[in-house]
Structure formats: C-alpha cells, structure tokens
C-alpha cells in the first residue's frame, strides 16, 4: 500500500497528478459536440466574461472561448499547476490566447473582484473541494447581479457499472471513497445553491449509457484510488477491473453516471 494522507488525498491527488493520468485527461476532457446540452442552461453569450472553475487542461475553456467571441473573456482556474500550463498552451495553439486568462490557485479563492463576471461554470470539481458551501459562496461573490452560476456534477452514489452489480461496485467504491471529499455531491447541489441565496435555482439531470467503454478511464482511476490507501486487497481491485475490461471486450459493458446540472440566477 502506498503511503498517503487519507484525510487530504481528495485534494492531494489533484495537486500531484501522475503523467499517465495527465495524458489521458487531455483527451477525456476535450469538448465534444454531443456535450452541448450540458452547457445549454448557462446561456453563454458573445461578449460574456466567464469563469471555468477547475478547468483542468482546458477542454471546456476552449468551448467557452469559442462561445464568448472576440469581445469576451474566459478565466480558467485550477489547483493543478501542470493543467494550467497545458491549458495556456492548448488555448494558444487553438488561436484563443487573447480571450483567455489562466490562474493557478491553492486556497479555494477566485482571484477576481466582486461582481466581475457574467457566468461561472464549474464542471465535475465540487466533490473535491473541502467546503462546498464556502466555494458556492465564493462563486456568488464574483458573479454580477443578473449573472448565472452553472454547476455540473455527478453523484457517485448513483453510479451503475455492469458487469459488477451493486455489491462488487459498492466494495470497490468504498475502497476508493477517500479520493472524493463529497462523493454524493449531485444530490446536495440544489439545496446548497438555495441556501447560498440564489434567486432562482433550476435542476436538470442528464444521463447516458456508455456501452463502448469510453468511461473506462474513470473506473481505472477508481481502481488506482482504491489501491492507494483503500481497504481492499490490490489483487481484488485488479480482478474487479479485469471483469470490467472483459465485459468491454465482449460487448456487455454498461456504465451510467448521471450528471446534475444546477443553475443559479443572481
């Protein structure tokens, strides 16, 4: 078992990301046209100033930069210094350097003034922050009156992975759970946004079934988290992953991880 601090691992595994994961994320996080419904409620317009909180290597930032046009600006913010470098490089290569600014942060604060942005988007990040309410309050601070905060996140308690069934998936997830601060984030987002005082909060759930194994990387990471400090025999975790790989080969695999889209209007 590798030595880790189980209390801070949910954050540490983003501060230091292994090269293999970085390479995989650059592909996994790229925006694809079929993802457009995820952004629809945010109503991004040309000329908007938009924050991409937890931007990773910049896949969503690129799509936001396209949408805000030459008169807009995207601020990408992330805890991982390497992702920030990669995002700067990616957006420059794609010709969007002038309408993007990237910020490396380590204190859960947004380095922007009060009421200075039109939209704040946060995709698949809030399960990793130490204080969800404080981060949502920070989002509210930077958004202008009339602006929107749009949060997209999963709820790991609603994950379906066949062929594992309920018990084996629960065994694997229990061993990996220290990699998430708030794994069941999806279901609390609505009440967290209401408590934070947004005037109007809308919730949608989008779910699709991956039958081709496109999301296998997510499960591969989960197995590695489980093997890094989790209460599972590493050979058992590998055996569960082998079952998953086998079902992908046989064409019987299916993974469903619903995405909560929670949009607050200020």
Ligand X SMILES: C[S@@+](CC[C@H](N)C(=O)[O-])C[C@H]1O[C@@H](n2cnc3c(N)ncnc32)[C@H](O)[C@@H]1O
Smallest distance, Å, CB 80 to ligand X?
4
Query: 196 near 136, Cβ under 8 Å?
Result: yes
186 near ligand X (CB under 6 A): no
Name which position in 39, 44, 60, 179 contacts ligand X (CB under 6 A).
60
Where in 188-217 is the site for ligand X (CB under 6 A)?
Answer: none
The answer to the question of residue 140 lying near ligand X (CB under 6 A) is no
Nearest in space to 260 (alpha carbons), one of 173, 184, 161, 177: 184
CB of 250 vs ligand X, minimal distance in Å: 28
**CA–CA dist 108, 232 (Å, integer):** 32
Q: Which of residues 65-94 bind ligand X (CB under 6 A)?
A: 78-80, 83
Contact between 218 and ligand X (CB under 6 A)? no
- The pairing of strands 143-154 and 259-265 is antiparallel
Classify residue 187 by its DSSP letter: G
Tell me how far apart the alpha carbons of residues 266 and 169 are, in angstroms, rounded to a whole number: 39
Using CA atoms of 36, 42, 46, 47 in order, give the dihedral in degrees to the nearest 10: -140
Cα→Cα distances 245→5, 161, 237, 238, Å = 30, 12, 13, 10
Q: How far is the CB of 202 from ligand X (least distance, A)?
A: 20
Candidate ranges 87-95, 121-129, 162-170, 197-205; the one touching ligand X (CB under 6 A): 121-129
Cα distances (Å, whole numbers) of residue 67 to 45, 62, 111, 201: 7, 9, 23, 23
- Shorter beta-carbon distance to ligand X: residue 123 or 140: 123
Range in contact with ligand X (rule: CB under 6 A) among 117-125, 154-162, 200-208, 237-245: 117-125
Q: Minimum distance from CB of 37 to ligand X (Å)? A: 15
What is the size of the binding site for ligand X (CB under 6 A)? 18
Residues at the site binding ligand X, with contacts judged by CB under 6 A: 14, 29, 54-56, 59-60, 78-80, 83, 105, 108, 123-125, 128-129
């Amino acid at each position: 078992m590798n030595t880790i601090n189980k209390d801070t691992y949910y954050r540490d595994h983003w501060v230091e990301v292994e090269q293999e994961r970085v390479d995989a994320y650059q592909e996994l996080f790229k925006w694809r046209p079929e993802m457009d419904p995820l952004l629809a409620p945010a109503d991004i317009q040309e000329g908007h100033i938009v924050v991409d909180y937890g931007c990773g290597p910049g896949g969503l930032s690129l799509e936001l930069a396209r949408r805000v046009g030459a008169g807009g600006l995207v601020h990408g913010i992330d805890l991982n210094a390497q992702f920030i470098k990669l995002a700067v490089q990616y957006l420059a290569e794609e010709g969007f350097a002038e309408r993007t600014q990237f910020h490396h942060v380590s204190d859960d604060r947004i380095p922007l003034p009060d009421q200075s942005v039109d939209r704040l988007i946060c995709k698949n990040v809030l399960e990793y922050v130490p204080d969800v309410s404080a981060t949502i309050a920070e989002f509210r601070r930077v958004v202008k009156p009339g602006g929107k905060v749009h949060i997209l996140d999963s709820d790991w308690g609603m994950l379906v992975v066949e062929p594992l069934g309920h018990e084996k998936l629960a065994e694997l997830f229990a061993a990996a759970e220290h990699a998430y601060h708030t794994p069941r984030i999806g279901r609390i987002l609505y009440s967290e946004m209401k408590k934070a005082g947004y005037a109007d909060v809308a919730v949608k759930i989008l779910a699709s079934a991956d039958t081709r194994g496109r999301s296998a990387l997510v499960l591969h990471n989960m197995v590695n988290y489980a093997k890094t400090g989790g209460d599972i025999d590493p050979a058992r975790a590998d055996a569960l992953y082998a079952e998953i790989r086998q079902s992908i080969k046989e064409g019987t695999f299916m993974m469903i991880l619903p995405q909560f889209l929670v949009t607050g209007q200020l």
